[in-house]
Amino acid sequence: MKKLIVFVCNGNIHRSVVAEKYLSQVLERNHLDNKFSVASYGLQGTMGIAKPRHTNLTEYRKEWKAASPTLRKFRIDLTDHFYQKITPAVIKKTAVIIAMDKKVFSTAKNALLNQFPKAKNKIHIFSEITKNHKDIKDPAGNGSFSVHQTTIKNICSTIENKLKTILEWTISK
């Protein structure tokens, strides 16, 4: 049975989806897609917090325009993705959950550790493996090409360089 790796961000529109799609590519390229599957979810829509206004990055015009060139460069297609909220059922079947920033991990009212304290042993924060242990900031509402480029490049390079660590997280729990 495949081990499920889940990325979680606030809205499941940008960062977690980029991580999901890129890790899927890396797993396939390394012939590991028969052992691992990847999904992404968001906190929005949980614990009384509203769902995202739109369900796909393409519907956020300025963000889509800013992100598209870099997404193409990394061969990441987000057009078929639709927002999904994290649920207890997902948590239960997941080998490892990776929060894209500290807010998603622990500081938001509906943060992963606040909603799912019993799963804390399999919840990690992406900054554990990023350069200088920095969060992947949420580019929501930002139309800057450089902000989106930096976000996407940081996610992809971290996954590329720290694949072994991510996979080790699935067996250490």
pLDDT more than 90, % of the chain? 91
Spatial separation of the C-alpha atoms in residues 90 and 53, rounded to whole Å: 23
Task: Please state the domain extents for the chain.
Answer: 3-167
What pLDDT sits at residue 61?
A: 95
Q: Give the β-pairing of 36-42 and 123-125.
A: unpaired
Considering the entire predicted model, what is its pTM?
A: 0.96
Which pLDDT tens digit goes with each residue over 33-81? 999 999 999 999 999 899 999 999 999 999 999 999 999 999 999 999 9
Which pLDDT tens digit goes with each residue over 136-166? 999 999 999 999 999 999 999 999 999 999 9
Residue 86 has pLDDT above 60, yes or no: yes
Q: Kindly state which CATH superfamily the domain 3-167 is placed in.
A: Response regulator (3.40.50.2300)
Dihedral sign, Cα of residue 109, residue 110, residue 111, residue 112: positive
Residue 173 has pLDDT above 80, yes or no: no
What pLDDT sits at residue 132?
A: 83
Residue 36: which residues within 8 A CB-CB, separation 6 or more? 2, 3, 4, 5, 27, 167, 170
Which pLDDT tens digit goes with each residue over 60-73? 999 999 999 999 99
Q: To 10 degrees, the CA torsion angle through 131, 106, 22, 149?
A: -60
Which pLDDT tens digit goes with each residue over 87-126? 999 999 999 999 999 999 999 999 999 999 999 999 999 9
